[in-house]
Amino acid sequence: MTMLAVVKSRAQALELVSALRAAGVPAQSVSTPKEANVGCGVSVRFEENFFPRVKAAVAKGRYSSFAGYMRAYPTGYSYL
């Protein structure tokens, strides 16, 4: 299942994408969905099976603009 790491800062989101790719996680930057309620922004999309690696990378990187994780459902996105 598709998940998002919601990041309010474009620069930090792109930095996270690079860190995840270096860790072997296929990730890409995407527009933050309206369900995130953070205004416009960039989020990082990844598959749920990589969630433990993503959580570790977010904790290690200390991304100050990180807003949380969302999971994709047929009706839209929802925070975990």
When pLDDT is averaged across residues 13-22 and rounded to a whole number, the result is: 97
Q: Which two tokens stand for residue 31?
A: 């527009």
What's the pLDDT at 40? Answer: 72
What's the pLDDT at 38? Answer: 85
| Digit-coded pLDDT (tens) for 43-54 | 999 999 999 999
d(CA 62, CA 67): 12
When pLDDT is averaged across residues 45-64 and rounded to a whole number, the result is: 96
Domains and CATH numbers, the chain: 2-79 (3.30.70)
Please state whether 39 falls in left (phi above 0), alpha (psi between -120 and 50) or beta. Answer: left
What's the pTM value of the predicted model, to 2 decimals?
0.93
SS3 content of the chain, % helix, strand, coil (to 5): 40, 35, 30
